[in-house]
Amino acid sequence: MLKITDLVKRYGAGDPVLKNLDLTIEGESVVSIIGSSGAGKSTLLRCINRLVEPTSGSIILNGTELTTLRGKNLRAARRKIGMVFQGFNLVDRLTVMENVQSGRLGYISTWAAVSRRYPKADIQRAFELMERVGIAQYANSRADQLSGGERQRVGVVRALMQQPEILLADEPTASLDPKTSEQIMGLLRDLARELKLPVVINIHNVTEAKEYTDRIVGMRYGRIIFDDEPAKLDGAEMDKIYAGSPHADRATQGAETP
Protein backbone atom coordinates (compact mmCIF):
# COMPACT_ATOMS: atom_id res chain seq x y z
CA MET A 1 0.00 0.00 0.00
CA LEU A 2 1.11 3.53 -0.79
CA LYS A 3 -0.06 6.11 1.72
CA ILE A 4 0.71 9.80 1.20
CA THR A 5 -0.18 12.19 3.99
CA ASP A 6 -0.04 16.00 4.08
CA LEU A 7 2.54 16.13 1.28
CA VAL A 8 3.97 19.55 0.44
CA LYS A 9 6.51 20.43 -2.23
CA ARG A 10 7.73 23.99 -2.57
CA TYR A 11 10.32 25.33 -5.00
CA GLY A 12 12.00 28.43 -3.58
CA ALA A 13 9.80 31.11 -2.05
CA GLY A 14 6.82 30.66 -4.36
CA ASP A 15 3.52 28.92 -3.72
CA PRO A 16 3.79 25.16 -3.10
CA VAL A 17 3.46 22.91 -6.13
CA LEU A 18 1.86 20.26 -3.90
CA LYS A 19 -0.38 21.52 -1.12
CA ASN A 20 -1.04 19.22 1.85
CA LEU A 21 -1.88 16.34 -0.46
CA ASP A 22 -3.36 13.06 0.82
CA LEU A 23 -3.56 9.92 -1.34
CA THR A 24 -3.83 6.19 -0.61
CA ILE A 25 -3.38 3.46 -3.23
CA GLU A 26 -4.00 -0.19 -2.38
CA GLY A 27 -3.90 -3.53 -4.17
CA GLU A 28 -3.33 -4.00 -7.88
CA SER A 29 -5.39 -1.04 -9.04
CA VAL A 30 -4.38 1.14 -11.99
CA VAL A 31 -4.69 4.79 -10.99
CA SER A 32 -4.42 7.71 -13.41
CA ILE A 33 -3.45 11.22 -12.34
CA ILE A 34 -4.96 13.90 -14.57
CA GLY A 35 -4.90 17.70 -14.65
CA SER A 36 -3.57 20.64 -16.60
CA SER A 37 0.14 21.21 -17.05
CA GLY A 38 1.45 22.68 -13.82
CA ALA A 39 -1.13 20.90 -11.64
CA GLY A 40 1.64 18.99 -9.88
CA LYS A 41 1.20 15.55 -11.45
CA SER A 42 4.83 14.91 -12.38
CA THR A 43 6.06 16.46 -9.15
CA LEU A 44 3.86 14.02 -7.22
CA LEU A 45 5.37 11.00 -8.96
CA ARG A 46 8.90 12.31 -8.51
CA CYS A 47 8.31 12.86 -4.81
CA ILE A 48 7.21 9.25 -4.44
CA ASN A 49 10.48 7.90 -5.85
CA ARG A 50 12.50 10.76 -4.35
CA LEU A 51 13.75 12.14 -7.65
CA VAL A 52 12.35 15.31 -6.10
CA GLU A 53 12.70 15.96 -2.37
CA PRO A 54 9.39 16.64 -0.60
CA THR A 55 9.31 19.78 1.52
CA SER A 56 7.21 18.10 4.20
CA GLY A 57 4.72 15.29 4.69
CA SER A 58 4.78 11.51 4.71
CA ILE A 59 5.09 8.90 1.92
CA ILE A 60 4.82 5.31 3.16
CA LEU A 61 5.21 2.33 0.82
CA ASN A 62 4.30 -1.01 2.39
CA GLY A 63 5.33 0.16 5.83
CA THR A 64 8.50 2.04 4.84
CA GLU A 65 8.60 5.81 5.33
CA LEU A 66 10.33 7.01 2.17
CA THR A 67 10.82 10.67 3.04
CA THR A 68 13.37 10.01 5.81
CA LEU A 69 15.59 7.57 3.93
CA ARG A 70 19.16 8.40 2.98
CA GLY A 71 22.12 6.65 1.36
CA LYS A 72 21.93 2.88 0.97
CA ASN A 73 18.50 2.73 2.58
CA LEU A 74 17.13 5.11 -0.04
CA ARG A 75 18.79 3.15 -2.84
CA ALA A 76 17.23 -0.05 -1.50
CA ALA A 77 13.79 1.56 -1.35
CA ARG A 78 14.07 2.88 -4.90
CA ARG A 79 14.53 -0.67 -6.14
CA LYS A 80 10.94 -1.26 -5.07
CA ILE A 81 9.62 1.63 -7.17
CA GLY A 82 9.62 1.04 -10.92
CA MET A 83 9.50 4.11 -13.18
CA VAL A 84 8.45 4.41 -16.82
CA PHE A 85 9.42 7.73 -18.41
CA GLN A 86 7.85 9.80 -21.19
CA GLY A 87 11.22 10.11 -22.96
CA PHE A 88 12.05 6.39 -22.52
CA ASN A 89 15.45 7.17 -20.84
CA LEU A 90 17.25 4.40 -22.75
CA VAL A 91 20.93 4.28 -23.61
CA ASP A 92 20.71 4.29 -27.42
CA ARG A 93 24.09 2.68 -28.10
CA LEU A 94 23.31 -0.31 -25.88
CA THR A 95 21.24 -3.32 -26.88
CA VAL A 96 17.72 -3.90 -25.68
CA MET A 97 18.97 -6.65 -23.35
CA GLU A 98 21.60 -4.33 -21.87
CA ASN A 99 19.02 -1.60 -21.32
CA VAL A 100 16.63 -4.04 -19.71
CA GLN A 101 19.35 -5.37 -17.41
CA SER A 102 19.96 -1.87 -16.09
CA GLY A 103 16.86 -2.50 -14.03
CA ARG A 104 18.95 -4.97 -12.03
CA LEU A 105 21.83 -2.61 -11.23
CA GLY A 106 20.69 -2.28 -7.64
CA TYR A 107 20.95 -6.04 -7.19
CA ILE A 108 24.25 -7.02 -8.83
CA SER A 109 27.88 -6.13 -8.20
CA THR A 110 29.61 -3.23 -9.92
CA TRP A 111 31.97 -5.69 -11.62
CA ALA A 112 29.09 -7.72 -13.03
CA ALA A 113 27.42 -4.54 -14.31
CA VAL A 114 30.55 -3.09 -15.92
CA SER A 115 31.57 -6.39 -17.51
CA ARG A 116 27.95 -7.10 -18.52
CA ARG A 117 28.07 -10.52 -16.92
CA TYR A 118 24.45 -10.73 -15.93
CA PRO A 119 23.18 -13.61 -13.77
CA LYS A 120 21.50 -16.36 -15.77
CA ALA A 121 18.31 -15.95 -13.77
CA ASP A 122 18.17 -12.25 -14.71
CA ILE A 123 18.68 -13.04 -18.39
CA GLN A 124 15.93 -15.66 -18.27
CA ARG A 125 13.56 -13.24 -16.54
CA ALA A 126 14.37 -10.54 -19.09
CA PHE A 127 13.54 -12.86 -21.98
CA GLU A 128 10.27 -13.86 -20.31
CA LEU A 129 9.21 -10.24 -19.87
CA MET A 130 10.36 -9.20 -23.34
CA GLU A 131 8.39 -12.08 -24.81
CA ARG A 132 5.36 -10.99 -22.81
CA VAL A 133 5.46 -7.43 -24.21
CA GLY A 134 6.45 -8.46 -27.73
CA ILE A 135 10.06 -7.34 -28.06
CA ALA A 136 12.06 -10.53 -27.47
CA GLN A 137 13.17 -10.53 -31.11
CA TYR A 138 14.99 -7.24 -30.50
CA ALA A 139 17.09 -8.46 -27.57
CA ASN A 140 20.37 -7.91 -29.42
CA SER A 141 19.31 -4.81 -31.36
CA ARG A 142 20.50 -1.34 -30.40
CA ALA A 143 17.85 0.70 -28.63
CA ASP A 144 18.04 3.47 -31.24
CA GLN A 145 16.87 1.04 -33.93
CA LEU A 146 13.45 0.62 -32.34
CA SER A 147 10.21 2.54 -32.86
CA GLY A 148 8.74 4.69 -30.12
CA GLY A 149 6.29 2.03 -28.99
CA GLU A 150 9.02 -0.61 -28.92
CA ARG A 151 11.30 1.69 -26.94
CA GLN A 152 8.57 2.29 -24.38
CA ARG A 153 8.11 -1.47 -24.03
CA VAL A 154 11.82 -1.69 -23.26
CA GLY A 155 11.27 0.93 -20.56
CA VAL A 156 8.40 -1.08 -19.09
CA VAL A 157 10.46 -4.27 -18.98
CA ARG A 158 13.42 -2.43 -17.43
CA ALA A 159 11.14 -1.17 -14.65
CA LEU A 160 9.67 -4.62 -14.08
CA MET A 161 13.16 -6.14 -13.83
CA GLN A 162 13.47 -4.26 -10.53
CA GLN A 163 10.72 -6.51 -9.14
CA PRO A 164 8.98 -3.37 -7.92
CA GLU A 165 6.23 -3.10 -5.34
CA ILE A 166 4.68 -0.23 -7.30
CA LEU A 167 5.04 1.01 -10.87
CA LEU A 168 4.97 4.73 -11.71
CA ALA A 169 4.51 5.95 -15.29
CA ASP A 170 5.09 9.61 -16.12
CA GLU A 171 3.29 10.47 -19.36
CA PRO A 172 4.19 7.07 -20.88
CA THR A 173 2.19 7.70 -24.07
CA ALA A 174 2.82 11.40 -24.71
CA SER A 175 5.49 10.71 -27.35
CA LEU A 176 3.49 8.01 -29.14
CA ASP A 177 0.87 7.94 -31.88
CA PRO A 178 -2.76 7.25 -30.81
CA LYS A 179 -2.80 3.56 -31.72
CA THR A 180 0.51 2.84 -29.98
CA SER A 181 -0.64 4.88 -26.97
CA GLU A 182 -3.65 2.63 -26.55
CA GLN A 183 -1.45 -0.45 -26.84
CA ILE A 184 0.88 0.79 -24.10
CA MET A 185 -2.01 1.70 -21.81
CA GLY A 186 -3.58 -1.70 -22.36
CA LEU A 187 -0.25 -3.35 -21.63
CA LEU A 188 0.17 -1.46 -18.35
CA ARG A 189 -3.35 -2.39 -17.30
CA ASP A 190 -2.85 -6.07 -18.13
CA LEU A 191 0.55 -6.27 -16.43
CA ALA A 192 -0.94 -4.77 -13.26
CA ARG A 193 -3.45 -7.62 -13.19
CA GLU A 194 -0.97 -10.35 -14.05
CA LEU A 195 1.72 -9.22 -11.60
CA LYS A 196 -0.71 -7.97 -8.93
CA LEU A 197 1.09 -4.65 -9.05
CA PRO A 198 -0.32 -1.18 -8.33
CA VAL A 199 0.32 1.21 -11.22
CA VAL A 200 0.11 5.01 -11.05
CA ILE A 201 0.02 6.82 -14.39
CA ASN A 202 0.40 10.56 -14.90
CA ILE A 203 -1.50 11.20 -18.13
CA HIS A 204 -3.01 14.05 -20.13
CA ASN A 205 -5.31 11.92 -22.27
CA VAL A 206 -8.54 11.67 -20.29
CA THR A 207 -10.17 9.29 -22.78
CA GLU A 208 -7.38 6.76 -22.22
CA ALA A 209 -7.51 7.32 -18.45
CA LYS A 210 -11.23 6.51 -18.44
CA GLU A 211 -10.82 3.42 -20.63
CA TYR A 212 -7.71 1.81 -19.18
CA THR A 213 -7.57 2.71 -15.49
CA ASP A 214 -9.65 1.74 -12.46
CA ARG A 215 -9.51 5.07 -10.67
CA ILE A 216 -8.94 8.66 -11.67
CA VAL A 217 -7.35 11.30 -9.46
CA GLY A 218 -7.85 14.85 -10.73
CA MET A 219 -5.42 17.57 -9.64
CA ARG A 220 -5.56 21.35 -9.86
CA TYR A 221 -3.03 23.79 -8.42
CA GLY A 222 -1.35 21.11 -6.33
CA ARG A 223 -4.50 19.73 -4.74
CA ILE A 224 -6.63 16.66 -5.39
CA ILE A 225 -10.13 17.80 -6.32
CA PHE A 226 -11.47 14.53 -7.79
CA ASP A 227 -10.82 10.93 -6.72
CA ASP A 228 -13.25 8.30 -7.94
CA GLU A 229 -14.00 5.64 -10.54
CA PRO A 230 -13.83 6.73 -14.20
CA ALA A 231 -17.60 6.59 -14.68
CA LYS A 232 -18.00 9.40 -12.13
CA LEU A 233 -15.81 11.80 -14.13
CA ASP A 234 -18.54 13.79 -15.86
CA GLY A 235 -18.52 17.19 -17.54
CA ALA A 236 -19.01 19.07 -14.30
CA GLU A 237 -16.00 17.38 -12.70
CA MET A 238 -13.95 17.99 -15.83
CA ASP A 239 -14.78 21.69 -15.62
CA LYS A 240 -13.49 21.79 -12.04
CA ILE A 241 -10.21 20.13 -13.02
CA TYR A 242 -9.63 21.97 -16.30
CA ALA A 243 -11.40 25.28 -15.74
CA GLY A 244 -9.76 27.89 -17.94
CA SER A 245 -7.80 25.33 -19.99
CA PRO A 246 -8.71 22.95 -22.84
CA HIS A 247 -10.09 19.58 -21.75
CA ALA A 248 -7.42 16.92 -22.02
CA ASP A 249 -9.34 14.36 -24.04
CA ARG A 250 -6.77 14.74 -26.75
CA ALA A 251 -3.12 13.76 -26.22
CA THR A 252 -0.83 16.70 -25.60
CA GLN A 253 2.91 16.77 -25.94
CA GLY A 254 5.71 18.00 -23.70
CA ALA A 255 6.74 17.53 -20.11
CA GLU A 256 4.98 19.20 -17.23
CA THR A 257 6.68 22.12 -15.61
CA PRO A 258 6.64 22.49 -11.83
Judge whether 210 lies within some domain.
yes
What's the pTM?
0.89
The pLDDT mean for the chain works out to 90
Of 258, 257, 223, the residue nearest 240 (C-alpha): 223
Can you tell me the distance from the alpha carbon of 14 to that of 17, in angstroms, rounded to the nearest whole number?
Answer: 9
pLDDT classification of 247: cutoffs 50, 70, 90: very low
H or E element: which one contains 2?
A: strand 2-9
Judge whether 78 lies within some domain.
yes
Judge whether 258 lies within some domain.
no
For residue 194, pLDDT beyond 50? yes
Judge whether 22 lies within some domain.
no
- Sign of the four-CA dihedral 136, 137, 140, 144: negative
Can you tell me the distance from the alpha carbon of 126 to that of 97, in angstroms, rounded to the nearest whole number?
Answer: 7
Judge whether 18 lies within some domain.
no
In the chain, the number of structural domains is: 1
- Domain holding 141, by residue range, is 28-56+65-246
Judge whether 184 lies within some domain.
yes
Q: Which residues pair with 169 in a beta bridge?
A: 84, 201
Residue 199 belongs to domain with CATH number: 3.40.50.300
Structure confidence by residue, pLDDT tens digits, 36-64: 988 999 999 999 999 999 999 999 999 99
Judge whether 146 lies within some domain.
yes
Q: Residue 219: which residues within 8 A CB-CB, separation 6 or more?
A: 33, 34, 35, 39, 40, 41, 44, 225, 241
Structure confidence by residue, pLDDT tens digits, 97-145: 999 999 988 777 667 766 778 889 999 999 999 999 999 999 999 999 9
